[in-house]
Amino acid sequence: MKKAIIGKKVGMTQIFDEMGKVIPVTVIEAGPCVVVQKMTEEKEGYKAVQLGFEEVGEKKLSKPEQGHIKKAGVSPMKHLKEFRLEDDSKLEVGDVVKADLFAAGDKVDVTGTSKGKGYAGVIKRFGQGRTPTSHGGGPVHRHAGSMGSSTDPSRIMPGKKQAGHMGVEQVTVQNLDVVKVDAELNLIAIRGAVPGPKGSIVYLKDTVKVQPVKKGEGAGISVNPQKASARVNPQKASARTK
């Protein structure tokens, strides 16, 4: 991981590129974040940087949190998160990390907590099917059905898909494009949707996906025969997906 920052999801909107095409984007208020602590191989056994985001009143922190913040000599922070960076030698405690850490064209992974959906059944939660609705099916069309357990082992094995709390899980969406960065307002526009409701905390970091580099004369030209025919006949619907 080369770059990372903590942010808050503002919401979704759309912007237009130079060709006039609509790009759906999620706007994230990224930073400013303060370096609260640096982990080292000698003391903690690993190298990492702890960032703090969103100033808060000191009374709203517990006494251990207050002591941790005072030791760093920074303002009280509501959210703390560790990131393992490839090169953290340039960062020191008290340094500020802002949205201009990223630039348009970067690929990022965004981690957040998904929206809560309450208590849900197996059909909504896992997409399971209904029972037949005719010939005496009874009032159990959306029930989970048999659990499949018998005398041995006489219990339900862990991991069984059942009704339960849906959502409120950590979700990471990988390989998203940074479309625009506003350094003055600390805003980053990312193509597509990211997990969580408006106002939720998200973590941005460089993507772990390996970006293939095409070389040669045909670099960037699709080998899909439908797209190839669209280059000859622009009237084809597939011409719009080149």
Q: What is the pLDDT of residues 65-98, one digit of tens each?
A: 889 888 888 888 888 989 888 777 788 888 888 8
A 10 A CB-CB count for 2 gives 10
Q: How far apart are CA 2 and CA 92, in angstroms?
A: 16
* Higher local confidence (pLDDT), 22 or 241: 22
**The sheet that has 77-83: what strands, in order across it?**
77-83, 48-55, 33-39, 96-97
Amino acid letter, 83: F
What would the pLDDT profile of 120-133 be if each residue is shown by its tens digit? Answer: 999 999 998 888 88
Minimum mean pLDDT among 63-67, 99-103, 214-218, 235-239: which range? 235-239
